[in-house]
Amino acid sequence: MAGGAACHYLSIMSEIVIEVEHLYKSYADTMAVQDLSFRVTAQQCHAFLGPNGAGKTTAMKVLYGKAKPDDHPETRINVLGYDPRLQELKIKTLSGVVPQEDNLDLELNVQQNLQIFSKFYNLSRAHAQRQIDYLLEFMELTEKRKSQVRELSGGMKRRLIIARSLLNNPSLLIMDEPTTGLDPQVRQLIWDKLRELMRGGVTILLSTHYMEEAYQIADVLTIMDKGRKIMEGAPRELLESQVEGHVLEVTDLEYSDQFESAMDGSPFRKEQSSQRAIYYAADGSALEQAAGHIPRESFIMRKSNLEDLFLRATGRHLNEGQ
Ligand code: ADP
């Protein structure tokens, strides 16, 4: 019996909730998404990470039927067993969407926003009310139940949109930059709630340009740039396999030559911007030793992070041209 339970567990764990192959989407002259393929496994959080314009929103919109992909013979899209090109409504019934913009009804209060939305799902009045009470509690908005939406802070609006996306008990949540512009406390709260939802069986696809967000909650990361996938994997594994563990940033470029000669042949990789030189090395002690030869205030030493991975993957700084 125990083996059977384990098998069942394994089959749930490996169930594919989203499968996309060779997705293309163009707008006039812009190729917003180019040959994108990826899979999302049940109960995992899969994050699209990339700068503005990378194609994250467009890819998500295709999945829930808001954007039509290009006609391409190789394109295959399967979301919860349905093709959004043909069965958009089925997908809408089974999933929840948190769009990038705050598209709440400003004329209504918090509770009314949820009530109106519950009508789209044909929930009975009593069922809707129970669900609304539960979701207001879950997103810590119960005290704001009667507040007008326009009086809410940015973080409260986001939490209300997340509550709204959960009205139909979705098994898949598609979230476009759910925490952009929020302060760290609200962001942490939302991450906790997302983790709780995943423990309860929900699968999450989200987009973000916060490295920290991807690192904190994503099981799998797809790094996108200019419409293409450029890397994919578990955040920690990607980091370990693609980027040296130790980083020293020389913030006063006057000292970069001195630092390099103090490295004395020890291997390093260098990224340079107009403001600083960034040195990557597997051996942190070599960086530390060489740093002893330049003034303390001319460098910062740290562990590598996803931003370094992104730099390596795209060969450019995140904020270039944004
Ligand atoms: P991201 O979500 O990563 O910021 P988007 O998917 O919003 O990226 O955009 C990808 C590219 O497609 C950008 O160059 C953007 O200007 C373009 N784009 C997105 N939506 C439209 C649209 N409705 N009409 C024309 N171009 C669009």
Q: What is the pLDDT of residues 37-79, one digit of tens each?
A: 999 999 999 999 988 899 999 999 999 999 999 999 999 999 9
Residues 33, 227: contact at Cβ < 8 Å? yes
54 lines ligand 1 (CB under 6 A): yes
Nearest-angstrom CA–CA distance, 88 and 61: 11
pLDDT at 9: 47
Residues 220, 232: contact at Cβ < 8 Å? yes
- DSSP reduced 3-state for 157: helix
For atom 17 of ligand 1, the residue with the nearest CA is 32
Same domain, 149 and 292: no
56 lines ligand 1 (CB under 6 A): yes
Let me know if 290 is exposed, middle or buried by CB neighbors in 10 A (0-12, 13-18, 19+): buried
- For 262-319, how does the pLDDT look when each residue is reduced to its tens digit (9 = 90+)? 999 999 999 988 889 999 999 999 999 999 999 999 999 999 998 888 888 877 554 4
Beta-sheet pairing, 16-27 with 76-79: antiparallel
68 lines ligand 1 (CB under 6 A): no
- Does residue 222 fall inside a structural domain? yes
pLDDT at 269: 94
55 lines ligand 1 (CB under 6 A): yes
The residue out of 187, 221, 240 marking a domain boundary is: 240
- Does residue 39 fall inside a structural domain? yes
The residue out of 187, 219, 240 marking a domain boundary is: 240
223 lines ligand 1 (CB under 6 A): no
Ligand 1: residue of 58, 222, 226, 230 to mutate (most ligand atoms within 8 A of CB) is 58
For atom 12 of ligand 1, the residue with the nearest CA is 32
Same domain, 233 and 248: no
Same domain, 208 and 71: yes
Same domain, 275 and 133: no
Nearest-angstrom CA–CA distance, 301 and 37: 37
Type of residue numbered 297: E
Residues 194, 45: contact at Cβ < 8 Å? yes
Residues 118, 135: contact at Cβ < 8 Å? no
- Does residue 310 fall inside a structural domain? no
- Does residue 312 fall inside a structural domain? no
- Does residue 216 fall inside a structural domain? yes
Q: What is the mean pLDDT of residues 16-42?
A: 97
Same domain, 149 and 274: no
Nearest-angstrom CA–CA distance, 179 and 45: 15
Same domain, 105 and 205: yes
Beta-sheet pairing, 220-225 with 45-49: parallel
Same domain, 277 and 173: no
For atom 16 of ligand 1, the residue with the nearest CA is 53
Same domain, 196 and 266: no
Q: Residues 6 or more apart from 14 whose CB is under 8 A from it?
A: 41, 42
Q: Which atom of ligand 1 is nearest to the CA of 59?
A: 6
Same domain, 169 and 194: yes
99 lines ligand 1 (CB under 6 A): no
pTM: 0.88
Number of structural domains found in the chain: 2
Expressed in angstroms and rounded, the spacing between residue 52 Cα and the centre of ligand 1 is: 8
Nearest-angstrom CA–CA distance, 65 and 136: 28
In the chain, which ranges are continuous DSSP H helix?
2-13, 56-63, 88-94, 110-120, 125-138, 154-165, 184-199, 211-217, 235-242, 256-262, 284-291, 306-314
Same domain, 191 and 168: yes
pLDDT at 7: 44
Residues 157, 104: contact at Cβ < 8 Å? yes
52 lines ligand 1 (CB under 6 A): yes
What sign has the CA pseudo-torsion 186, 191, 197, 202? positive
Same domain, 93 and 222: yes
Q: Treating both helix axes as pointing N-terminal to C-terminal, what angle do 235-242 and 306-314 enclose, rounded to 10 degrees?
A: 60
92 lines ligand 1 (CB under 6 A): no
Residues 250, 276: contact at Cβ < 8 Å? yes
66 lines ligand 1 (CB under 6 A): no
* Domain membership of residue 83 as a residue range: 4-240
- For 114-141, how does the pLDDT look when each residue is reduced to its tens digit (9 = 90+)? 999 999 998 899 999 999 999 999 999 9
- Kind and range of the H or E element at 78? strand 76-79
CATH number for the domain spanning 276: value is: 3.30.70
- Does residue 162 fall inside a structural domain? yes
- Does residue 200 fall inside a structural domain? yes
Same domain, 160 and 200: yes
- Does residue 140 fall inside a structural domain? yes
Sheet with 277-281, edge to edge strand ranges: 269-272, 277-281, 246-250, 299-303
62 lines ligand 1 (CB under 6 A): no
Q: Which atom of ligand 1 is nearest to the CA of 61?
A: 6
- For 45-55, how does the pLDDT look when each residue is reduced to its tens digit (9 = 90+)? 999 998 889 99
| Average pLDDT of the residues of the chain | 91
Nearest-angstrom CA–CA distance, 7 and 25: 38
**Which contacts qualify for 304-307: CB closer than 8 Å, 24 or more apart?**
304/239, 304/243, 304/244, 304/245, 304/246, 304/247, 304/280, 305/211, 305/215, 305/239, 306/49, 306/211, 306/212, 306/214, 306/215, 306/221, 306/235, 306/239, 307/211
Q: Which atom of ligand 1 is nearest to the CA of 177?
A: 2
CATH number for the domain spanning 90: value is: 3.40.50.300
What is the C-alpha end-to-end distance of the chain, expressed in Å?
A: 56
pLDDT at 260: 96
Q: Which conformational region is residue 28 in: left (phi greater than 0), alpha (psi within -120 to 50 degrees), or beta?
A: left
